[in-house]
Amino acid sequence: MSETMDEYLKPAKYIDSDHPEVVAFAERVAGTDGSDIERAIKLYYAVRDDILYDLYRPYGRDETYRASDVLLAGKGFCVGKASLLAAACRVVGIPARVGYADVRNHLCTPRLLELMGTDLFTWHGYTDIYLDGAWAKATPAFNRTLCETFGVKTLEYDGRNDSLLQDFDTQGNRHMEYIEQRGTFADVPAAEIIADFRWRYKGLFGDGDHGAGGDFAKEAAEV
């Protein structure tokens, strides 16, 4: 395996695949049987559904972007969840990296739109996983219960085809629109993301770096 591919297997600052809790999680979920694709799929669904999607995170803090902290918290937003999935894949010997895109989200809560001042989400995170000689994108952001609340089909992953956020909800309304791809990285470019968020979304930072606070799932249920 080339040095370039090696970097997608090594622990990193945010994709900390050497953290004991991440190692235990990945080994428990993936197991020892089956192909790499089968184990990657197991990891995808565990991160998608067992780690709850929460947009109200402390965006100025490293732990929001670090795989082990997301796992221990049991919740995270797209960037942190993508970091965790990448870390878990690396634990079991599957090369993985993180990627980002700017998206327009047409399903927001009124409070979130007020705090952000826009429906444009920059640095939307996904995981790029190397399986059977090719990269396949996986987006473990929205857990099943949140999708059901918003009336959006859950995003599935088969390890062969890119799994990106849905264009439309179950009623045929526009859901997500990809505006610009930002590329892939061996580790989360947290400093760059934080700087961009701090400039664009001041309302999400709340008091200092503690975050705006709130219950995103409850808000979604009330929309």
Residues 109-152 have pLDDT tens digits of 889 888 988 989 999 999 999 999 999 999 999 899 988 888 88
| CB contact burial 54-87 (16+ within 10 A = b; e otherwise) | bbbbbbbbeebbbbbbbbeeebbbbbbbbbbbbb
What percentage of residues in the chain have a pLDDT greater than 90? Answer: 64
The answer on pLDDT for 168 being more than 60 is no
Per domain, the residue ranges of the chain are 3-216
Token duo for residue 22: 């991440």
Express each pLDDT in 6-65 by its tens digit.
Answer: 999 999 999 999 999 999 999 999 998 899 999 999 999 999 999 999 989 999 999 999
Q: Is CATH 2.40.30.10 the classification given to domain 3-216?
A: no
pLDDT at 164: 82
Mean pLDDT for 69-93 is 97
